[in-house]
Chain A
């Protein structure tokens, strides 16, 4: 009995010690704890596709070029400068001298070219059974990559405007060839890069620990250590942030925004993302084939009301089919004002008062719309006020049913949206509105020879300013023709402790912890 009691007491003490130690990780000065919903799958940059893996990989690795803070423009990273040939087929990158991998080997032109051969060549022995990289398709346009002295030279199969942006993405991260050779198929658990943090340890489904790389070419990170902790439940994660056990969390539900805002010890970070939601008119159907009808519907809706009611106030009214975070965004277009009375009168004058219509709204949240049912309820209400008779339809999203019905053109008006893969305007304007994208992503079934010509020319143009001008004109066409009604730019969201400094959300959703520190 006595022994039993001692054992229980001992256990209690141990639990208490462990618990107390855990409750305040910042006791170890300079440790940032990042709370997230799920564990990483692998830390081999070429083998991954999920955000939880990408977020950790972004701390350990560098790329040749990197996205500037706040935009999708690229800036030098492992490459200090670059030049393209006149035909846009050959690109030469000068490599930053003296950079070392975390294992002490040199990150030179040869090591970088080796990484791209592993990425591009499906027969490369260096893949060690990894299989085809999930994001390999971004790099299919690359014919070859070789080291030439201190430079790396890429040859492309055809001019590709998005080439640079793709080099800044995570699959193009540079790994240590020696480490890949050493760990082989287990490399994803022992990653070695050149980034601001080096890999420390990994307790699956609990945490990944990274340590500062003081010798980083861009200067030492401010924190000594970073821990990525897994807490699956959104509400539990928020509780632990409030308790001070975590410093940064993602996956905050819009319904919790007000609660975070009300807490003095926390800050809610909202930054414009790379997405937008919109209503697509079926422009092949009467009366939506008439631009003046579509424009009248546009002024029947109050985007600010939609944001207040269906986005918990987090979002910006969308004007263009391209968010302002993407270069080439046309900031000179002024949105049509909300004018319910004018809209009602215009629709009556156009002879569509009392028109019944099928309004498609997806049944579950998407990255660009947190509460589609509420968007549907608001839009329906306002269309009714404008004299139309909408009926809400919500076929299941799973199995491609919802998008399938849109592709068949069963909708009159449909709620849908887009999140870009690579931050290039082509990935919005061509993908969503070129006539060749019917019946794929062109849910409005929009056909305009003039628009097609603008975005096709932009694809072949390599001078960034000329491309941007073509895209600005393309956006004017869309605004004028109104085949869609852009609704909301949805922001990226994080909640942090008030003493966290230097954490900036990137529009691409990239997590960058190098400049983050804790105020005493």
Chain B
């Protein structure tokens, strides 16, 4: 059996990773196939207000008679978009910053890391709230805010990893052979620190979904009628006792998605650790 298959099998044998992967797959499936949802997520029907789950409306309807299942499915698409794009954006900015700080050291490191410290000193949700308040509520700004909150986290992690590997023999040999700084960073350092970044990004998607729902809940997310989980929770919260399905559906969906990414992230970390130990 080739090395990579054995390695993947080991990942699969971890119960944590398996559960996480299943939840994430379920969630990805929901997002991809949201177009097949039984109803238009914004379709209002005053004759079907707050109907409990039944055939035709498997998760019931909300206070505007909209189909909760369709809204939750479309919500997964929105939250996946927010999670992936905002983590992508945070990586795109945070990784180069961390690489530069770790590799260059000196003044560059000092300046970059002090900026990161300042950003980290703010509670994430407060920073996101401030950014949203300045930029105004919209989907793009929501993703920007969530990304901005996560940039310092990635920058710091990447820098720490760079410092770990930069004085290892294989890096020193590459430098001694005359490789350019850029080449050393991109070909020798980055691939070897990818593990922790992948773990962090996986966990980060879960966090991003949570942050986006939080902003949606306080009314700074997407449009008021958008099928976004946080926004749905906010508008449904007064029905939590009388018509619980309106709150349960988006709440459980968000919890499962976040749980999935967290379990997968944990599983990946264990896997990478054991791989490192085996080496």
B-contact bits for A246-288, CB 8 A (1 contact / 0 none): 0000000101000100000000000000000000000000000
In whole Å, how far is A244's beta carbon from the nearest beta carbon of chain B?
21
B-contact bits for A370-383, CB 8 A (1 contact / 0 none): 00011011101100
- Residues from chain B with a CB closer than 8 A to the CB of A381 are 42-44, 225
Interchain CB contact under 8 A, A308 and B235: no
- Residues from chain B with a CB closer than 8 A to the CB of A380 are 42, 225
In whole Å, how far is B262's beta carbon from the nearest beta carbon of chain A?
31
- Residues from chain A with a CB closer than 8 A to the CB of B42 are 377, 380-381
The docked-state distance in angstroms from the alpha carbon of A395 to that of B219 is: 10
Name the contact of B223 in the complex, choosing from A305, A374, A391 (C-beta under 8 A): A391
Interchain CB contact under 8 A, B137 and A394: yes
Name the contact of B63 in the complex, choosing from A309, A394, A395 (C-beta under 8 A): A309
- Residues from chain B with a CB closer than 8 A to the CB of A363 are 219, 224
- Residues from chain B with a CB closer than 8 A to the CB of A361 are 224
- Residues from chain A with a CB closer than 8 A to the CB of B49 are 308-309
- By beta carbon, the residue of chain B nearest A259 is B242
Chief secondary structure at chain A's binding surface:
helix
The docked-state distance in angstroms from the alpha carbon of A117 to that of B106 is: 77
A147 at interface, CB cutoff 8 A: no
Interchain CB contact under 8 A, A378 and B44: yes
B12 at interface, CB cutoff 8 A: no
In whole Å, how far is A376's beta carbon from the nearest beta carbon of chain B?
5
Within 8 A of A (CB), among B13-67: 42-44, 46, 49, 63-65
Chief secondary structure at chain B's binding surface:
loop
The docked-state distance in angstroms from the alpha carbon of A394 to that of B234 is: 15
Interchain CB contact under 8 A, A392 and B238: no
Q: How many of A's residues come within 8 Å of B, CB to CB?
A: 20
The docked-state distance in angstroms from the alpha carbon of A363 to that of B64 is: 17
B105 at interface, CB cutoff 8 A: no
- Residues from chain B with a CB closer than 8 A to the CB of A309 are 44, 46, 49, 63-65
Within 8 A of B (CB), among A379-393: 380-381, 391-392
Interchain CB contact under 8 A, A308 and B239: no
- Asked whether A308 and B46 contact (CB < 8 A) given A253-B238, A374-B235, A377-B64, the answer is yes
A-contact bits for B204-220, CB 8 A (1 contact / 0 none): 00000000000000010
Interchain CB contact under 8 A, B238 and A377: no
Interchain CB contact under 8 A, A376 and B224: yes
The docked-state distance in angstroms from the alpha carbon of A394 to that of B238 is: 20
Interchain CB contact under 8 A, A376 and B219: no
In whole Å, how far is B214's beta carbon from the nearest beta carbon of chain A?
16
- Which size bracket describes the interface of B in this complex? 10 to 19
The docked-state distance in angstroms from the alpha carbon of A391 to that of B137 is: 12
- Residues from chain A with a CB closer than 8 A to the CB of B44 are 305, 309, 377-378, 381
- Residues from chain A with a CB closer than 8 A to the CB of B219 are 363, 394
- Residues from chain B with a CB closer than 8 A to the CB of A255 are 63, 238-239, 242
- Residues from chain A with a CB closer than 8 A to the CB of B224 are 361, 363, 373, 376-377, 392, 394
- Residues from chain A with a CB closer than 8 A to the CB of B133 are 396
Name the contact of A305 in the complex, choosing from B46, B235, B239 (C-beta under 8 A): B46
The docked-state distance in angstroms from the alpha carbon of A235 to that of B235 is: 18
- Residues from chain B with a CB closer than 8 A to the CB of A396 are 133
Interchain CB contact under 8 A, A392 and B225: yes
In whole Å, how far is A19's beta carbon from the nearest beta carbon of chain B?
25
B96 at interface, CB cutoff 8 A: no
Interchain CB contact under 8 A, B136 and A395: yes
A-contact bits for B123-150, CB 8 A (1 contact / 0 none): 0000000000100110000000000000
- By beta carbon, the residue of chain A nearest B44 is A381
- Asked whether A373 and B137 contact (CB < 8 A) given A309-B44, A381-B44, the answer is no
In whole Å, how far is B184's beta carbon from the nearest beta carbon of chain A?
49
Enumerate 28 A-B pairs (CB-CB under 8 Å) in ascending A order: A253-B238, A255-B63, A255-B242, A305-B44, A309-B49, A309-B63, A309-B64, A361-B224, A363-B224, A373-B224, A373-B225, A374-B235, A376-B224, A376-B225, A377-B64, A377-B224, A377-B225, A378-B44, A378-B64, A380-B42, A381-B43, A381-B44, A381-B225, A391-B223, A392-B223, A392-B224, A394-B137, A395-B136
- The 5 A-B pairs at the shortest CB distance, nearest first, are namely A377-B225, A373-B224, A392-B223, A255-B238, A308-B46
Residues in chain B within 8 A of chain A (CB atoms): 42-44, 46, 49, 63-65, 133, 136-137, 219, 223-225, 235, 238-239, 242
Residues in chain A within 8 A of chain B (CB atoms): 253, 255, 259, 305, 308-309, 361, 363, 373-374, 376-378, 380-381, 391-392, 394-396
